[in-house]
Structure 1
Amino acid sequence: MRPAADQRKRVPSPSVAFTVLERGLLFFLVWLVLMPSAKVADLAVGLLATALATWTSLRLLPPASGHLRLGALLAFVPHFMWQSVLAGVDVARRAFDPRMPLRPGFVVYRVGFPPGLARNEYTVITSLLPGSVPAGDVEGAIIYHALDTSQPVVEQLAEEERRLSTALISGDHHD
């Protein structure tokens, strides 16, 4: 019988060329959004900035340590934006309605992402959930401060983890 570690599904690391192309395209698209100009000089500066940003990203996050599934990430963006709006509305509603019951406290969530890039991304995203904010971590878990512990905080965190998992292929991501 093989050890459990050998039975885990392994995700092949992306090729360096694919990673360079993918990141370069994303950086150039960001440049176009920030500098929507048709001037040749601006495009030349954009290409130079794209090359430098791509080179820096490859140094800081080598291809073997993970990448995003672009399509899944794009599908994740509307959900992320909506959650950000809900978080703002929820906090404002609680601040202006003194009858709103608050049951503040801490919730511990056992996250499937090990310490590293994917877990950090998850923590940043979940910091925007309505009424909760990451407040620390312990072995294998993140501690969240919640405005109302009677709400389904753990279920929301699990849903966010599932959604983010579909957008990531990462060397430090769980299978």
Structure 2
Amino acid sequence: MTGSSGGRDGRAAVAVGGLWRIATFRAAFFLCLWLVLAGVNPADLPAAAAAIAAATWTSLHLLEPSRSRRSVTAMARLALLFLYQSVVAGVDVARRALDPRLPLRPGLVVYPTGLSRGMRRNVFTTLTSLLPGTVPTGEENGQIVYHCLDIEQPVVAELAAEEAALVRALYND
């Protein structure tokens, strides 16, 4: 029997196999999410199957699988950095709100991001919007404008550290 195991058809088979692996992973994620939110009830199986299939299909079309590898170590560091900064910033905001001797110096800070417009920048602004004390408010000349509770703090340096950690964790192409 003669046949080619390589070439164009072999690459297509690998690509399809990789797509099935990613689809299976995402379906398993949506199944876990369903179980956490709705619990285990055999009567819900048809609805769960339909919801998981629809969510998986939608995720594959809206967030196409990429060939880049995600760094688990970098993602863990990003999560720890985010948790640390959330706690520190939350305590700082609470102190400033409760202690009248600590002045608030609100204002706008322009951050010159290196991320292109689109999904990458949206992920970054979403992540930074969750940190207490800073809120992205828009763009100016391609840069992100943040409202801060204290403009004398090293906001730009902290945002740069967040951006670098995000790039290391998610976008190692």
Could you say which residue in structure 1 is the equivalent of 2:101? 99
SS in 2 for 1:163: helix
Q: Deviations over 1:98-117 (max 9, x none)?
A: 11122222211111210111
User: Contact between 1:133 and 1:146, CA under 8 Å: does it hold in 2?
Assistant: yes
Retained in 2: the 8 A contact 1:83–1:129?
yes
Scaled by the length of structure 1, the TM-score of the pair is 0.72
**2:82 counterpart letter in structure 1:** F
User: Partner residue of 2:111?
Assistant: 109
| Aligned match of 2:11 | none
| Structure having the higher Rg | 2
**SS at structure 2 position matched to 1:63:** coil
Would you say how many aligned residue pairs link Structure 1 and Structure 2?
157
Could you tell me the percent identity over the aligned residues? 50
Match of 1:8 in 2: none
Higher helix proportion:
2
* Structure 1: stretches of 5+ with no match in the other structure: 1-12
Give the TM-score normalised by structure 2.
Answer: 0.73
Structure 2: stretches of 5+ with no match in the other structure: 1-14
Kindly report which structure 2 residues correspond to 1:67-78, keeping only aligned pairs within 5 A, or say none.
69=70, 71=72, 72-73=74-75, 76-78=78-80
Q: Deviations along 1:25-59, whole A, 9 cap, x unmatched?
A: 2222212222332x433455333321111112223
On the 8 A contact 2:77/2:165 being kept in 1, the answer is no
Equivalence for 1:17:
20
Aligned alpha-carbon RMSD (Å): 3.0
C-alpha distance in structure 1 between counterparts of 2:71 and 2:23, whole Å: 14
CA offset digits 1:79-136 (Å, max 9, x no partner): 4344444443332221211111222222111112101111101001111223211121
Partners of 2:45 and 2:71 lie apart in 1 by 24
| 1:154 and 2:156 correspond | yes
Seen in structure 2, the aligned counterparts of structure 1 residues 68 and 77 have a Cα distance that, compared at 3 Å, is farther
Pairing 1:118–2:120 present: yes
Q: Which residue of 2 aligns with 1:143?
A: 145
